[in-house]
Amino acid sequence: MPQSIKLYKIEQYPNEFPVRSAEINPGYTQSTFKTTVEHLGRSEYTQIDLEKVQIIHEIADKFEGKGILEDGSIYDLVAISKEERFPCFIKNREFLYTSGTNRIISEQAIKRLRRHYNPDNCLIAKGVKIDLGSFKEHLEQSREGAIKGGWFRGMQIENVEVAYLGGGSVTESDDWERYETSGGTISALRIDIPVTDGEEDAIKTLLTRDGNLVIYKNYGEHEMLRIAMPIFEAAEQFINV
């Protein structure tokens, strides 16, 4: 089962934990919902100093129906709530990496935390945009990963809005050069990460322009970060501010 880990840039770091957002009302219920960040300690991955936190994100699930009390009165059921709990990792109080959830939930949680409960003690982060064209060149020179495919958008080519190119030496193809020089943007790169054991297959990953890394196999915390962090540390050099 694939897993993803998403990169954010930290704009403001709290003085202490826990941190919580303001309580938000979605508009179709009287209930309010908040997002909380708790400090858990250090990550299992020790090659880089990473703080580990947990985000608890309350979600309103809209549900319309009727309820009947013991006295026979009828009332509307408009919503129920649930919690999404997932770990995140923080590097140098500069970058935050969400994991253990999908990108929609992580984006919702990060956005809600911007509406802080205490402006003097809040965790504020924003999404990033990575120049995948420059990152591709870095990978080709460093050989830290083999590019096996790429998604393109915005090409100035008639009748082509989105295109995918894949293959063993895909970046050397005429089509790749044509798409890249036609005003298009690389929106995602399929990257194989080499392994030390020659009998194992390469680790298949996908890195999107907005910093979401998909690993096409489920790993524990240590192994996931061992794969993800070298990719992120290289890609962070090519973030467009």
Residue 119 and residue 9 share a domain: yes
Q: What is the pLDDT of residue 110?
A: 97
Q: Based on the structure, what is the number of domains in the chain?
A: 2
Q: What is the pLDDT of residue 157?
A: 65
pLDDT digits (tens, 9 = 90+) for 224-238: 999 999 999 999 999
Dist CA 235 CA 138 (whole Å)? 9
Q: What is the pLDDT of residue 179?
A: 75
Q: What is the pLDDT of residue 64?
A: 58
In a domain, 146, yes or no: yes
Residue 86 and residue 52 share a domain: yes
Q: What is the pLDDT of residue 198?
A: 58
Q: Tokens in use for 153? A: 């958008």
| Contact assessment for residue 178 and residue 156, using Cβ atoms and an 8 Å cutoff | no
For the chain, list residues with pLDDT below 50.
none
**Domain enclosing residue 69, as ranges:** 3-126
Dist CA 229 CA 213 (whole Å)? 10
pTM value surpassing 0.85: yes
Q: What is the pLDDT of residue 17?
A: 97
In a domain, 237, yes or no: no
Residue 84 and residue 35 share a domain: yes
Residue 109 and residue 20 share a domain: yes
Q: What is the pLDDT of residue 219?
A: 94
Residue 151 and residue 120 share a domain: no
Q: What is the pLDDT of residue 72?
A: 59
For residue 174, give the H/E element and its range. Answer: helix 174-180
Residue 92 and residue 35 share a domain: yes
Q: What is the pLDDT of residue 175?
A: 76
3 state DSSP class of 88: strand
Residue of 111, 104, 98 lying closest to 34 (CA atoms): 111
